[in-house]
Amino acid sequence: MNRDILRTLSLKGDHNIRVAILDGPVDIAHPCFQGYDLTVLPTLAPTAARSDGFMSAHGTHVASIIFGQPETSVPGIAPQCRGLIVPIFSDDRRRITQLDLARGIERAVNAGAHIINISGGELTDFGEADGWLENAVSLCRQNNVLLVAAAGNNGCDCLHVPAALPAVLAVGAMDERGHPLDFSNWGSTYEQQGILAPGEDILGAKPGGGTERLSGTSFATPIVSGVAALLLSEQVRRGETPDPQKVRQLLLQSALPCDDDAPEQARRCLAGRLNVSGAFTLLKGGNMSEELATASFPSVEASCGCNGGLVAAEPTTNSGSMPALSVSSFAGASPATMEAAGPLEPQPLPFPAQPLTQMPAQPLTQMPAPTQTLSMTTNQVTPSQAPSELANSQFAYVLGTLGYDFGTEARRDTFKQLMPPFDFAGNMVPANPYDARQMVDYLGNNISEARSLIWTVNIELTPVYAIDPTGPFASETYHALQELLSGQIQAEDNEEYVERVSIPGVLTNRSVKLFSGQVVPVVEPQSTRGLYGWKVNGLVNAALEAVRAEGGDAGEARIRQTLDGFLNRIYYDLRNLGTTSQDRALNFAVTNAFQAAQTFSQSVAAGMELDSVTVEKSPFCRLDSDCWDIKLKFFDPENNRRAKKIYRFTIDVSDLVPVTMGEVRSWSSSY
C-alpha cells in the first residue's frame, strides 16, 4: 500500500468504525499491537495463538496489516479503527464448512462490524454457495456491512465463495508493477465486483514477535479492507453516516485499468487496480482525472518488496458431508515458502503513474437496491431491547429435527450395556442405541439418562446446535425432548407424527464435540416454553374445521399440500440459524399452529397457493420491543390475472420466546 498517500491524507481511521477479521487466531500480545485494544469474539475455534501455528501465523499477519500501530515494526493501514477478531480456523483445523463461516459472519454482524475481512474461501464450479453462506451474505447486505473476500490462489478462470457472491468485494493480488500475480484467480464475476491490490511480499507480524513477508490474495484482502475502513472514517469526519456499500462502489469505480502493453492480462485485472487517491476524490465529490493530473505520487504501490512467500497448506481430509473451506484454497496460500523477513526494512516499490488518457472521468452513480426475500427497513426511531434477566444474552429460536449423539465410544457402549434387549417380531435382539425407537422406550423408563446424551437440532441431517437444558426446569425439558423424539418416529399418517421441532434458548459461548468430530455451539433452553413439535396431521384437521366453519370447501389433500409447501419453504429455501431477530420471527411464524391453520384455511378454500414469505422490520411496536412483520402472499395458479392475497401478522422477538401481536390482517394486491 502506498503509505505516502495515507500520510499525505493524514488518515489513521476512526474508532467508531469496526473491522472484523474472520481468520485464524491472532497473537494480540505482539508488539505491533501495543497500546491497542483488539476485541476477540468467542467462537467455536480456539482464540489463543501459537507461535508455531500455521493459522496463527496467517491470522496475525492479516490483522497486523490493518491494525498494526504507528511507529512499530508493522504500521497498519487503519490503526485507529476498532478491530474485532473472530477466529474461524484453528492451527489443527485448516478446513471449515460453509456453515462455520456463516456462523462467523453472523457473529461479526451482530457485534456491529462495518467491514468483514475474509482472507479465504472455497473453490466452486460456478460461484455457487450453500444456503447457510448465502443467507449470511444477505444478512450483510441487509445491514449494510461490507464483506471483503479473497479471490483465491488457484491461478485459473475460477471462482471462490464468498468472493463471488453478490454484494461481496473480491480481491485479487498484483505485483509491484501492477500486473496480476500468476496464482491470483480471475473470472467474469470478478470483473464486475473485484479489484487487484498488492499481494506480493507483504510485511506483517509473526506470532511470538518479529515480522515476515508473505504473498497471496489473503494479504491483498486486508489492504483493501483497511482502505475501505479509512473511507468510512472519512465519511464520519465529514459528518456523514458511514455507508459501506457506497464505499464498495467507490473502490470499484475508481479502480485503475491494467497496462495496455499486456492486453492478454485484461481479464485477469478484474475490475481494475486499487486506486486510493481516486476513491477519496470520488468520496469528496471531485473529478478523478483532475486528481491524477495534479498528483505527485502514484495511485498504488506495494508496502514492501523482498523475497518471501507463504507455504501452501498441507492437504487435509474433510470427513464431513458439507462443503469445506481450506487454507490450501484459503486465499493466503501462494505456491511459495514461508520464511522470516529478517532485519530488512520495507522498501516501497512504486508503480509507474498512469497516463491521464487511461483514466476517463466517471460519474458516481447509485447502485440499484438488491432484491431481497428477507428485507429489513430502517426506522428513524427504534425501540430498545426489553429489560429482563436475559437482557445481555443472545437468543436462538431454531427450527429443525431432533437428534442425539453419544460424543464418545465409551458413552455409546454404556448405553448399549444398560438398554434391555429389544423385541423385534417376537425375537429378542441386542439393544441398538442408534435405534431411535429403542432409545425412546429406554428414556421413557429412565428419563434421568437423557442427561447423558448430547441432544442436537439438525437441519438436513446436519447437527447445527447441541441442546443442554439448564435451570430448575431442566427435568421437564428432558421429558419434552423425549416426547418430541417419540413423535418423530411415528408413522407419517399418525396423528402424533412430528415433522419438525422448534427449540428456543440462549446461545452460550460453549461448544461440544460430537462423535463424528464436528464441533457445534450449545443452546440452553430455559424451560419447556416454546418447545414445539410441528404436527402436520393435526394442522390439517384444524384447517379443515376452519374451512367448514366459514362455509368453504377445500379437500384435505390440497390443505396438506399447502401446509407442507409453507413448511418446506421455510425449512429448505429460507433455512437459517435462528439467531438474528428476523430469523427468529420467521421461524416462530412456522410454529404458530393456530395462526398458520387459520391463514391457510382461508386461502386454500379460495383455491390459492403460497407464493412468497417476507420479513420486514415493523414500523409500529410496543415500547422496549423488537417487532417484525411476517407477510404471506398467496396466488391463484390457474388464473394469473387474479389479485394476490396478502396476510400480515406482527411478531415481537424481544423475549426468549417470541409472541404474536394483534390479529392477522389481510388485503388484496395486484402484485
CA pair distance 206, 3, nearest whole angstrom:
21
Q: What is the separation, in whole angstroms, between the first and last Cα of the chain?
A: 50
The x, y and z cell numbers of residue 434, run together, are 442408534
Q: Where are the alpha helices (DSSP H) in 569-659?
A: 581-591, 593-605
Report pLDDT for 598: 61
Report pLDDT for 388: 42
Domains and CATH numbers, the chain: 3-358 (3.40.50.200), 394-406+453-669 (no CATH)
Separation in Å, CA 26 to CA 14, 40, 59, 67, 310: 22, 9, 5, 11, 17
The x, y and z cell numbers of residue 158, run together, are 475460477
- In this structure, are residues 224 and 251 in contact, taking their beta carbons and an 8 Å threshold? yes
- In this structure, are residues 25 and 119 in contact, taking their beta carbons and an 8 Å threshold? no
Report pLDDT for 601: 67
Q: For 349-352, which contacts have Cβ atoms below 8 Å and span 24 or more sequence positions?
A: 349/176, 349/301, 349/302, 349/305, 350/2, 350/297, 350/298, 350/301, 351/176, 351/177, 351/178, 351/273, 351/298, 351/299, 351/300, 351/301, 352/177, 352/178, 352/298
Residue 154 neighbours by CB under 8 Å, 6+ apart:
123, 183, 185, 329
Catalytic pick among 64, 73, 90, 218: 218
Report pLDDT for 547: 63
Place of cell 429455501: 573
φ, ψ of residue 501 in degrees (nearest 5): -130, 155
How many residues are there in the chain? Answer: 671
Report pLDDT for 599: 62
Catalytic pick among 27, 30, 56, 58: 58
Q: Is the pTM of this model over 0.85?
A: no
CA dihedral 153, 158, 162, 163 (to 10 degrees): 70
The x, y and z cell numbers of residue 121, run together, are 474461501
**Amino acid occupying residue 320:** G
Q: pLDDT below 70 — which residues of the chain?
A: 1-10, 260-264, 286-392, 539-540, 542-544, 546-556, 559, 563, 567, 592-602, 604-605
Report pLDDT for 357: 32
Indicate if 218 belongs to the active site: yes
Could you read off the pLDDT of 135-183 as tens digits, one per residue?
A: 999 999 999 999 999 999 999 999 999 999 999 999 999 999 899 999 9
The x, y and z cell numbers of residue 228, run together, are 475501505
Catalytic pick among 23, 91, 130, 405: 23
Report pLDDT for 634: 86
Residue 118 neighbours by CB under 8 Å, 6+ apart:
22, 23, 101, 105, 147, 148, 149, 150, 162, 221
Indicate if 58 belongs to the active site: yes
- Residue 173's closest CA among 305, 71, 67, 268? 268
